[in-house]
Structure 1
Amino acid sequence: MRFNLPFRKAATTLNHEGAVAYTLTPQLELYAAVATTALSDQFYEKADTRLRRLRELVARNDPEFVARLAVYAREQLYLRTVPLVLTVELARQHRGDSLVSRLVARVVQRADEITELLAYYAQANEREGVKTLNRLSKQVQKGLAHSFNRFDGYQLAKYDRAGQVRLRDALFLVHPTARNSEQQALFDQLVQGTLPTPYTWETELSALGQQAFASAEERTAAFRATWETLIGSGKLGYMALLRNLRNILEAGVSAGAVERVCATLSNEQAVSRAKQLPFRFLAAYREVLALQSGYVPLVLEALETAIAHSVVNLRGFAADTRVVVACDVSGSMQQPVSARSKVLLYDVGLVLGMLLQGRCGHVVTGMFGDTWKRISLPRGRTLQNVQEFYRREGEVGYSTNGHLVIQDLLQRREVVDKVMIFTDCQLWNSTNDGGTLAQAWIDYRRTVAPRARLYLFDLAGHGSAPLEVREGHGVALIAGWSDKVFDVLQALENGNSALSEIEKIDLSI
């Protein structure tokens, strides 16, 4: 299937603020919904509403496109839940070949994803309880059997967690054939509940937390010693380090331990292997920033180095390419990316915007709400710059007057090559003067910069855009929270569509 087809004129609709917007093609709408989905309630859309929309979009799209998108979401965007949803929904729609079994084997990459997929399968097919899963799709069963064969005893024990479906239940449902006698012994242990408890930092700290101590000082000393042992062992994974920086510093570990932590955080190879979403570094940065430890500056510096490494392959533009980076800081953007996260859509836009700023030679950056304000900040300090934007966000108010970004360029008669807007795409004009982003962009290209291009970085995936996404209009849409949005940007620069990265996915196992 080819995705880079001539555009048809988009139909108009209304966005969640009641402003005129433009519909997306089914492929583009599904891509945007998937790339921005945490399946938790959002400002404009409840989780159940998003889930229903995903199901409808799967039915409207080509099965191979859905499969490629699911693999892209799992392997390139590092998402876990939504690829499982796409896989189950595709299994409900598609029959006749091995597409679903191959897809299951690709998206299930952790042992707990076996049980997550089965739990959603039961929900999607309106079944309750493990026993109702005995009529499992043969292709889903085949794919899960392949997945079971990947996991060793450590992985099976680590992810054998309580839930409506246990790994033991899954084993009985799927009936995988063991590769050898050693694996059969592991399967037998899983059934009997006798897999050895794996050594992880979580089990180590959990065991320590259950001990009784004579005093608070004794307890602190015990945790300090345990953290130092974990850090020295090399068994503390990269994400565990990011998430536990506060705990490590508050435990009062030694200077040597802090130096080892910083060396790991800032190691380019470690960053590359960890595949962390950029906003994870911001979450860690803010946790550390709030501490009183004398090691805070050292750790903050390591985090700045780490996020720079995370986008080392991000291609910027030539020094004379004139770029505008505009970040939406409206009220609807101040929504957590997931139920358990302190990071907001607003933060994601700022992080991605500042990463892009760091790769451009000629760049204007700013934020918009009621008004549009240019803010000049030095390159090379991504997280520090995000904090500066965060500190000043109240200066522009909380509406979504994105058209002011382009009107400002019009009034200045300022020629730029590219305008990058990081937003949830729910733009509206709170001034009631009739101005829209769509009209401002038409006027700007007609009278000031005919070759300018506008890139909408959609961070919410609500299914519409504030102007027609059409190459002839110099408008493109990119969706997602990870640094992979810049790969899509590069594809667009090379004349491809926003979906060309997905089209490259090989579905073999």
Structure 2
Amino acid sequence: MANESVFATIKGKLLPHAGAVNHEDAQAYSLTPQQALAQLASTGTFNATFYADAREQLDEVLKLAWQVEPEFLAKIAVHAYESGYMKDMPALLLAVLSMMEGNGFGRAFRRIVKNGKMLRNFVQVMRSGATGRKSLGTRPKRLVLEWLEQASDAEIMRAAVGNDPSLADVVKMVHPKPKSASRAALYGYLIGKPHNVLALPEVVKAFEAFKRDPSLPVPEVPFQMLTSLPLTKAHWVQIAENASWQMLRQNLNTFARNDVFEVEGFAERLAARLRDPNEVRRSRVFPYQLMVAFNTVDAGVPEVVRGALQDAMEIALANVPSIEGRVVVCPDVSGSMSSPATGYRKGSTSVVRCIDVAALVAAALLRRNPTARVLPFENDVVDVRLNARDTVMTNAQKLAAIGGGGTNCSAPLARLVSERAKVDLVVFISDNQSWVDSTGHPHQGTATMQQWQKLKAINPGAKLVCIDIQPYTTVQAKPNADVLNVGGFSDRVFDVIGTMLSSKSDPDHWVRTIEALRL
């Protein structure tokens, strides 16, 4: 008699062969180059993660970039920037595009390089040699010059903050030909060359005057240019009033230390800006960044400002879909999820962990779908009681406090199967590195797909969405008409889920979403 441990009868239709292994050497499914690049572009920050180092990410991205069409590469670069809110990844993809034929590079460059930070990111990637060349080349140089020519004086001053490279380095590299005496003076000022002081733009004159006489009004320059000066409380109030929305969010504790909230009515004015819907949307803030701001504000920050951060969170999550039917949300709370969401980077590692992002997504879905069921998992499902009426912040904190254990992505599905539960949508938020449930037999598929097949037998119309928040290229559920794998941790992931649920079944819905982007 044949050995049944090897030749056991598999009930239901034959599952797809799990021919890949993940970083735990457990069965997994590999993605197509388009799918894998979409995953990496939405989650890769080129910092070390729990399972992979920065160099591995870079090598994988470069390999995949040359396996897709230039037009798709251009679209994925724009998608990573505009929908994924990424910075280094779009700059790298632009650098690769600059060596390919076609006009995708120019069209993508103008969509991505919107500010001085992105300009400097792009130049740094180009001159690093990471893509095989260390000079800009004709096309990139022309577009860098175009950006410099079209940028306002204020944009140039904002771009002057930062190094490696500095804007002065960029100017020296491309040798712009100024079209006005004012711009010629500004370039000379930036690179430390002789220039006509009288021709300098007004913003520079105001900055230099303020350095000589701090009794003058605070100039509208990046506050990083001012912090080395002897600033008073009145100065800090002016800085806060002139600040961008993101700068406000990032420096609440700084403002508190400099007593700006002691000014009558100022806390209320600042809170009004923080909760302004237009400013929140325009800022392109990650929802998890608001959670960080809320969790790290000092006691000196007034309650009205803390409340405004919660209001901003609700606005930032406004596109979380309200889903008809029975929803189950499965956040991964295993040990690997304790790693930083954007990876380890010496001196600037994010305090936000993958588990924080997973908890936030789960809490947001629960808030918009009060009847949803939340099944956190590690080695097995972790029972937790949540109140859908609580704020997103409160429920996210409860989920993020669990943590630990191995990764078993099939556990929530197995729980639902054992209950013969009725479900319409199951959403996973994980790093996809399941290993506790490894079958050891690739031809039998992953345990996740085995349990999903059983659940589908009970719920033929059910759909599965797996949100991956780490830059790896394998998945536990093979993309199919009823299975969507999507990567990222911006709120735009919810848009993809919403369109997937409202559209006809498409086994490659996420790639189609990117392909539909118009450059």
Q: For the superposition of Structure 1 and Structure 2, which TM-score range results when normalised by the shorter chain?
A: 0.7 to 0.9
Deviation per CA, 1:24-58, whole angstroms, max 9, x where unpaired? 11111000001001111101110111001000010
Q: What SS does structure 2 have at the residue aligned with 1:426?
A: coil
Instruction: Provide the rounded CA distance (Å) in 1 between the counterparts of 2:25 and 2:467.
Output: 21
Q: 1:242 aligns to what?
A: 249
Q: Secondary structure at the match of 2:60?
A: helix
> Which residue is 1:139 aligned to?
139
Q: In structure 1, how many angstroms separate the alpha carbons of the residues matched to 2:60 and 2:438?
A: 32
- Alignment CA distance shift 1:305-1:166 (3 Å): closer
**Which amino acid in 2 is paired with 1:148?**
L
Name the structure 1 match of 2:449.
438
- Runs of 4+ in structure 1 over 6 Å off: 431-435
Report deviation, 1:186: 3.7
2:227 is aligned with 1:205: yes
Q: Quick check: 1:100–1:143 contact (8 Å CA) kept in 2?
A: no
2:270 to 256, 261, 265: 261
The C-alpha deviation readout for 1:246-286, integer Å capped at 9, x for no partner, is: 23334442252222222211121221221101100110011
Specify every segment of 5 or more residues in structure 1 that has no aligned partner in the other structure, as ranges.
1-7, 210-221
- Relative distance call for 1:139 and 1:304 in structure 2 (3 A) is same
Matched AA of 1:114: L
1:315 and 2:315 matched: no
Distance in 1 between the 2:67 and 2:153 partners? Answer: 41
Q: Retained in 1: the 8 A contact 2:161–2:225?
A: no
1:273 aligned onto 2:282 = yes
Per-residue deviation at 1:117? 1.7
CA displacement at 1:177 relative to structure 2: 5.3
SS of equivalent residue, structure 2 residue 513: helix
Q: Distance in 2 between matches of 1:294 and 1:127?
A: 48
Q: Aligned partners of 2:450 and 2:151: how far apart in 1?
A: 55
- Does 2:389 match 1:379? yes
Partner SS, residue 375 of structure 2: strand
Q: Deviations over 1:75-97 (max 9, x none)?
A: 222211110100111223x12x3
Select which of 78, 93, 108 maps to 1:86.
Answer: 93
2:475 aligned residue (465, 475, 478): 465
Residue of structure 2 aligned with 1:116, choices 109, 112, 121: 121
Q: Which residue of the partner structure matches residue 491 of structure 1?
A: 499
1:215 corresponds in structure 2 to none
User: 1:182: Cα distance to partner?
Assistant: 4.7
1:455 matched to 2:465? The reply is yes
| Counterpart position of 2:11 | none
- Which residue pairs with 1:299 in the alignment? 305
**Structure 1 CA distance, aligned partners of 2:56 and 2:252?**
36
Distance 1:267 1:467, change over 3 A: same
Q: Aligned partners of 1:127, 1:269: CA distance in 2, in Å?
A: 42
Alignment partner, residue 212 of structure 1? none
1:502 aligns with 2:507: no
Residues 121 and 246 from structure 1, CA distance in 2 versus in 1: closer, same or farther, beyond 3 angstroms?
A: same
Q: Does the 8 A contact of 1:111 with 1:148 survive in 2?
A: no
Q: Distance in 1 between matches of 2:281 and 2:110?
A: 24
Shift in alpha-carbon separation, 1:32–1:10, aligned structure 2, 3 A: farther
- Select which of 23, 27, 49 maps to 1:20: 27
Deviation at 1:465, TM superposition (A): 0.4
1:273-307 Cα shifts (integer Å, max 9, x gaps) = 2110110011001112xx444834x3332211111
Q: Compute the displacement of 1:364 (Å).
A: 0.3
**Counterpart selection for 2:353 from 316, 335, 344:** 344
1:366 and 1:373 in contact (8 A); partners too = yes
CA–CA separation in structure 2 for the residues paired with 1:454 and 1:414? 15
The 3 A distance-change label for structure 1 pair 385 and 208 is farther
Shift of 1:418: 0.3
Q: Which amino acid aligns with 1:455?
A: V
In 2, distance between residues paired with 1:285 and 1:421? 25
1:428·1:436 contact (CA, 8 Å) conserved in 2? no
The share of aligned pairs that are identical, in percent, is 24
| Structure 2 gap segments, 5+ residues each | 1-14, 208-219
Residue 363 in structure 1 maps to residue 385 in structure 2: no
Q: SS at 2:318's partner residue?
A: coil
Instruction: Using the TM superposition, give the Cα deviation of residue 163 of structure 1 relative to its aligned residue in structure 2, in angstroms.
Output: 4.1
Partner of 1:106: 111
Q: 1:445 to 1:153 in 2, by over 3 A?
A: same
The alignment yields a C-alpha RMSD, in angstroms, of 2.7
What amino acid does structure 1 have at the position aligned with 2:492? K
Change (3 A) 1:378 1:108: same
Tell which deviates more after alignment, 279-288 or 10-19.
10-19
How far residue 346 of structure 1 moved from its aligned partner, in angstroms, is 1.3
Instruction: Mark the CA change 1:467 to 1:75 in structure 2 (over 3 Å): closer, same or farther.
Output: closer
Inter-CA distance 75–184: structure 2 relative to 1 (3 Å threshold)? farther
Instruction: Give the Cα–Cα distance (whole angstroms) in 1 for the partners of residues 494 and 487 of structure 2.
Output: 10
What whole-Å deviation, never above 9, does each CA across 1:288-339 have from its counterpart, x for those lacking one?
2xx444834x333221111111122333113xx1000110011111111233
**Post-superposition offset of 1:178:** 4.7
1:332 aligns with one of 294, 315, 336 = 336
**Do the aligned partners of residues 335 and 160 (structure 1) sit closer, same or farther apart at CA in structure 2, a change above 3 Å counting?**
same
